[in-house]
Structure 1
C-alpha cells in the first residue's frame, strides 16, 4: 500500500501552488509540477522448464537474460512460492541458447512474459503432484517443503519417491491482444527551484506513483522506477546529443560533454507502488515496469519550471540558455 504521509504532503503542497513567480526563497523561484504516465503492456512468447528434483529442490531453465533487472530473483521467487520451497532451494539457469527460448530483456516485458512461463511450468508440476496424491489442484497446498491435502501433511520428497518431476511452461499472445488495450499507469510530482539570476534549475524532490499489475518484488520494482525517474531528470535538464550540421557527426560523443545527471543533480526520490490485478495481462497478472518510471518524469519537471518562473520550455533539455531569457 502507498505511504499516505508522503503522498499527502506532496498533494497538500500542490494545493497551495501559486501563480508563476509568486513563491520565492531568496533568489530562488519555487515551483511544483506533475505529469501522468502510461506505458503499453506487452506479452512476448516465452518458454521455460522447471524440474522438481527427487531431493526436493527446483531448477529453472530458460535462455532469458538478467541485465541487472533482477530476473534471477524474480524467477526464483515465482517457482519457490508455487512449489512451497525456500528461494535458497531454487536454482535458476539463464543465458544459454540450448535452454528453452524466452522473451529476452527489454521493452518492459521480461518479468511478465518469462515469469508467466515459469509460473505455468510450476502449475504443470503441481498437477503431477495432484495425480500422485489423487486430489484436485485447488485442494493442494505446497508449503515449507510439504504438501497439505485435507488432513494430510506429506513431505514432498516422499511423494517424489526418488523421481524427478519436470514441467514445461509456454506462453504466447492470445485473444487478449485483440480484445483489450493494456497499459501500466503512473503519476509524477516534482518540486524545483530556479535561480532568478542564473537560470539554474535544481530538482528538490520527486514522487512517483505507479500501477503495474502484480508487483513480483517490491525492492527491484522500486529500483527500476528510481532509475527511470533519474533518467527523467537527465532528459529534462542535462542530456542532449549534438550533431555537426555540416556532416552529421556527433559532437559530444563522450561522457565529458554528454552530461548525465550525477548525485548532486538527483534529489530525494520517493516511489509508491499500487497493487493491481489485471486478469487480461497474463496468468501471473504481472505487468512491465522498467520503462514506466521515465514516461512522464521529465514533463513533471518542466511543468514545475513553468510554475516557478512562467517560462515554458518545449525544447529539451531545459538548460540555462533556454530558461534565462524568459526570466528577463
Structure 2
C-alpha cells in the first residue's frame, strides 16, 4: 500500500477470465479385455505411471494384474492426465461380461464429465518510479473448485519471479462451488495469469509513457526477487529484443487509433511469456543389439509432441546410430516408468533417462574395447577405428536401464522458460470483430532437441492464446449451474480462418541445471501471455481497453470510445 501511494505511476486493475475446456479433437475412449486374471486396457491416457494406480484402485485390483497401453494420445491438453469414466466403465464391463468392451464418450459427455479450467478474477497492482522500475507488485487471484478438492489453478506461478519489485503481495483464494472438478488444462496457471499480468503491464507502460518492450526490459530481475535464488538461465531480454526486431516493432510513442483501413482499425501489441520448468523422475531401458539397432522402452507417452522422434534422436546420437535404426516403444506399463505427458516435462525427463541409459551402455562398451567413455567414438554401428558393434557385443544384446532423478535443482535455482509475443490485430469499427493479422513468438527454453517438433509446439501454444484472447469460454446456466455450451459448435476454439501466419523464433541456449540434456519444457510456454499481446493490440488498434477474457465483439463494442 505504501509503495502504491508513493509511486510516480501506479495501476490497480481487475481482470477476469472465463473457464476453459481442454477440447481435444479425439474423444475419450477405452477398450478393456479381461482374461480371468489379467486386465489389459487400451486407452488414450497421458500419464500411465499414475493412471495404472488410479485404475487399479478404482476396480480393486493389484497393479500387477493391470496393464495399460497408450501408444498414441490424440489430444489431451490435461483432460487425459487421469483416468476418467470411460476407462473405469470399460474395465468393469469387461470383467463382468468376460469379453472385450469398448466405451466411447460423446462430445457432450466429454464436456460435461471431464475437468475444466477454473474461471478467475485477478487484481493487479503495480507501482513504479519515474523511470518505470517497479517498486510494488501485487497479484491476487480468486479461482474455484469443488469442496474437498486440493487443486487450485496456480495463477501466480510466474508472477513470483517474472519482474523485480521489493514490495510484493501475492495471494490465491479458492471458492468452493458445485461445477465439474477444476483441474489442469493447457498450461495451468500462466495460461490465465500471464494475460492478466501482461495486460496490466501495458496499462502501466501507457501511464508512464514508456515503450512496452522497454518497460519489461527495465524490470527483469537479476535473481528470483522472492527467494533470492539465481536463475538456471534467463533469456527474456534476448526474446524481447530479437522478437521486436523480427516483428518490426515500432518503439516510438504509442497511441490508439493511429491506423485505419476501411472499416478496420489496425494496431499492435506485445507481452512477455514465462512458464515454470518442471522435471520428474523417469526410467527408460535401452537395448543395443548385435544387428546394429537399438530398442528404447519406457511407459512415457506421445501426445503429438514428438516423443518417439526425440528419444530416437537421443539414443541414436549417444550410440552412433542413425535414428532409423532406433525403435522406440512407448505407452506400455510393462516398460520402465516415466513421468508422462503433462507439465511440459516429458522430453527433458524421459530424454534424460534415455541419456543415462545410453551413457551406461557407452561405459560398458568402452570398458570392453579398453578406452574411457569420453574416448569412445561410435558411428555407423561401429567403434571408430576399431571393431563393429556386433564384434564388441559378441553376438549378445546389451541392455541398461536409465534412472533419472531431478535432485535438488529447485533448492539451488529458479528454472523457467521465457519468451515474448508480438501481435498485429484489426478491429472492425462497426461490429467489434477482432482479427489477428500476424503473430510472432520468440522463446528461450534450453537446448532445442528437435527444431521441427519444438516449432510445432510453439505454433500450437500461440494458437491456444488466440482462443483464450478472443473466443474460448465455458458458459454455465446461472439457474442450476449446468454447462450450456458442451460441444465444439458452441465452445469456440480457434479454427483455420482464425489463425494467421505465425512466426516462431527459438533463442538457442543451454541450461545444464535444468536437465542432463540441457533442455527445458516448451509445450506450454507458447500460450503463456500470448492472449495479452492480442488484447493490448486491440487497445492500440481501436482504443477499447478490455479487462475481461475472451474479448468478444460485444465486449469490444461496449468499450470502444465514441
Please say whether Structure 1 and Structure 2 have the same fold, judged by a TM-score greater than 0.5: yes
Structure-2 separation of matches of 1:297 and 1:27: 25
Structure-1 separation of matches of 2:525 and 2:251: 26
- The correspondence for 1:58, drawn from 294, 299, 309, is 294
- The correspondence for 1:226, drawn from 443, 450, 459, is 459
Aligned to 1:116: 352
- The correspondence for 1:300, drawn from 498, 521, 533, is 533
Aligned to 1:261: 494
Gaps of 5+ in 1: none
Q: TM-score, normalised by structure 1?
A: 0.95
Deviation of the 1:192 alpha carbon: 0.3
Aligned to 1:8: 245
Matched, 1:309 2:542: yes
Structure-2 separation of matches of 1:110 and 1:5: 28
Aligned to 1:179: 412
Deviation of the 1:173 alpha carbon: 2.1
Q: TM-score, normalised by structure 2?
A: 0.56
Gaps of 5+ in 2: 1-237
Aligned to 2:8: none
Is residue 76–residue 87 contact of structure 1 (8 Å, CA) maintained in 2? yes
Matched, 1:192 2:428: no
Is residue 60–residue 91 contact of structure 1 (8 Å, CA) maintained in 2? yes
- The correspondence for 2:340, drawn from 100, 104, 114, is 104
Which stretch of the first structure deviates more once superposed, 108-117 or 54-63? 54-63
How many residue pairs are counted as aligned between the two chains? 323
- The correspondence for 1:25, drawn from 254, 261, 269, is 261
Matched, 1:247 2:458: no
C-alpha distance after superposition, 1:37-87 (max 9, x if no partner): 111111100000100012121001111111211111111111001100011
Aligned to 1:283: 516
Structure-1 separation of matches of 2:400 and 2:254: 60
Structure-2 separation of matches of 1:218 and 1:88: 18
Write out aligned runs for 1:147-166 (5 A).
147-148=383-384, 152-166=385-399
Structure-2 separation of matches of 1:9 and 1:213: 21
Write out aligned runs for 1:61-140 (5 A).
61-140=297-376
Is residue 417–residue 445 contact of structure 2 (8 Å, CA) maintained in 1? yes
C-alpha distance after superposition, 1:138-176 (max 9, x if no partner): 11111121212xxx3332222112121111101112121
Which stretch of the first structure deviates more once superposed, 14-23 or 245-254? 14-23
Structure-2 separation of matches of 1:75 and 1:123: 14
Structure-2 separation of matches of 1:308 and 1:194: 7
Aligned to 2:272: 36
Partner-residue secondary structure (3-state), 1:221: helix
Deviation of the 1:325 alpha carbon: 2.0
- The correspondence for 2:445, drawn from 201, 205, 212, is 212
Structure-2 separation of matches of 1:17 and 1:223: 34
